[in-house]
């Protein structure tokens, strides 16, 4: 039996009833065979500060970096804040890009975004892709998953009820897993 593909997911939202966290939980249900998804919590990572870094890497940051290093791929689900990346997500990526061990470099990444607006977080994805260049992350170009009008796609308990969105997330996850196999890198 081949080893399981380990995916680490995290979100740029700290909101208790976050649609992006709900999308990550849905992704756990929609994984291709042979894949597992662990969801990291970013809320305890302190804001990056070189003075704090000089005292030593905080334990929460070290654990986050270890989880990234242990993963075969990443899945980021993020809201859009003022046309860009939420501070909690940017902060976590900034911490993970510091020091001698750079677990983000060369890591395959899938991105999805959920928003109550009609663009589904499209602008955050483009800004995040720009940041990926500096981090040497390898984001999938396609498929793109924008969950627009997210308040109509999840029930009151945070369960994804929209079949089109479920299929889109399933496809994204399959392409992410396939991207780890050089023979399957078409993304279409």
Return the exposure string of 136-155: e unless at least 16 CB atoms fall within 10 Å of the residue's CB, then b: ebbbbeebbbbbbebeebbe
Return the pLDDT at 181.
Answer: 84
Residue with the bigger pLDDT between 2 and 41: it is: 41
Average pLDDT of the residues of the chain:
94
What is the rounded average pLDDT of the residues 48-64?
A: 96
pLDDT tens per residue, range 157-166: 999 999 999 9
Residues 101, 147: Cα–Cα separation, whole Å? 34
| Beta carbons within 10 angstroms of residue 62's beta carbon | 14
Q: Does residue 188 surpass a pLDDT of 50?
A: no
Task: State the pLDDT confidence band at 183, using cuts at 50, 70 and 90.
Answer: low
SS3 86: coil
Report how far residue 73's alpha carbon sits from residue 87's, in angstroms, rounded to the nearest whole number: 22
pLDDT at 174 over 50: yes
Q: How confident is the model at residue 3 (pLDDT cuts 50, 70, 90)?
A: confident
Q: State pTM to two decimals.
A: 0.94
Domain residue limits at 109:
5-184
* pLDDT value at residue 185: 46
**Both tokens of residue 115?**
């928003």
Confidence at residue 187, expressed as pLDDT on a 0 to 100 scale: 45
Instruction: Compute the distance between CA of residue 176 and CA of residue 19 in angstroms, rounded to an integer.
Output: 21
* pLDDT reading at 172 higher than 80: yes
Q: In this predicted model, what pLDDT tens digit does every residue of 6-55 receive, in sequence order?
A: 999 999 999 999 999 999 999 999 999 999 999 999 999 999 999 999 99
DSSP state of 152: G
For residues 143, 148, 152, 158, the Cα torsion angle rounded to the nearest 10 degrees is 60
Total domains in the fold of the chain: 1
H helix intervals, the chain: 19-29, 50-54, 59-70, 87-96, 122-135, 163-179
CATH assignment at residue 35: 3.40.50.360
**CA angle at 40 for the pair 187 and 65, rounded to the nearest 5°:** 85
Nearest residue to 76 via CA among 155, 135, 153? 135
Tell me the per-residue pLDDT of 133-162, one tens digit each, with 9 for 90 and over. 999 999 999 999 999 999 999 999 999 999
Rounded distance, CA 152 to CA 144, Å?
A: 19
């Amino acid at each position: 039996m081949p080893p399981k593909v380990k995916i680490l997911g995290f979100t740029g939202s700290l909101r208790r009833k976050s649609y992006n966290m709900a999308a990550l939980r849905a992704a756990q249900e929609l994984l291709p065979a042979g894949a597992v998804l662990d969801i990291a919590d970013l809320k305890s990572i302190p804001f990056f500060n070189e003075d704090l870094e000089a005292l030593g890497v905080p334990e929460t940051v070290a654990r986050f970096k270890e989880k990234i290093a242990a993963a075969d791929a990443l899945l980021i689900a993020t809201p859009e804040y003022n046309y860009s990346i939420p501070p909690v997500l940017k902060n976590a990526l900034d911490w993970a890009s510091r020091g001698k061990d750079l677990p983000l470099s060369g890591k395959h990444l899938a991105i999805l975004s959920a928003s109550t607006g009609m663009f589904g977080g499209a602008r955050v994805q483009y800004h995040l892709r720009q940041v990926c260049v500096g981090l040497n992350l390898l984001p999938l170009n396609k498929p793109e998953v924008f969950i627009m009008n997210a308040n109509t796609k999840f029930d009151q308990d945070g369960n994804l009820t929209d079949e089109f969105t479920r299929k889109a997330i399933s496809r994204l996850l399959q392409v992410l897993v396939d991207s780890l196999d050089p023979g399957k890198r078409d993304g279409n």
